[in-house]
Amino acid sequence: QKEVEQNSGPLSVPEGAIASLNCTYSDRGSQSFFWYRQYSGKSPELIMFIYSNGDKEDGRFTAQLNKASQYVSLLIRASQPSDAATYRCAVTATTDSWGKLQFGAGTQVVVTP
């Protein structure tokens, strides 16, 4: 059973601080890794994707991938109230399941004043 694991939270982050979200996956064949943000009552919105080991930065967001340890993380710098949402990690194994996304349970982020 291929699994994608996330801490469900909630993760409470003071406004202006860094939020750190982690995700582990069991399938070593996983090739592509995504972070989606989902506000309550809305559909998931892609915020980051990463394919290679290392860091990828986009604005206040940084995705980190370590395939040897099978984890991917998301850092949100200078957290804002608008960052309060559920963040879902998703992976796809292109070898036998091209394009199919397997999602983690999601981590709820709460930004405190």
Question: Burial of 48 by CB count in 10 Å (0-12 exposed, 13-18 middle, 19+ buried)?
Answer: buried
Nearest to 17 by CA among 94, 80, 87, 66: 80
Using CA atoms of 69, 32, 100, 30 in order, give the dihedral in degrees to the nearest 10. -30
Run of H or E residues at 12: strand 11-14
Instruction: Tell which one of 52, 68, 96, 98 touches other proteins (CB under 8 A).
Output: 98
Q: Is 40 in the site for other proteins (CB under 8 A)?
A: no
d(CA 12, CA 57): 22
Q: Is 75 in the site for other proteins (CB under 8 A)?
A: no
Q: How far is the CB of 51 from other proteins (least distance, A)?
A: 8
Instruction: Tell which one of 73, 74, 88, 91 touches other proteins (CB under 8 A).
Output: 88
Q: Is 106 in the site for other proteins (CB under 8 A)?
A: yes
Span interacting with other proteins, options 13-21, 55-63, 64-72, 86-94, rule CB under 8 A: 86-94
Residues that bind other proteins (CB under 8 A): 32, 34, 42-46, 49, 51, 88, 90, 94, 98-106
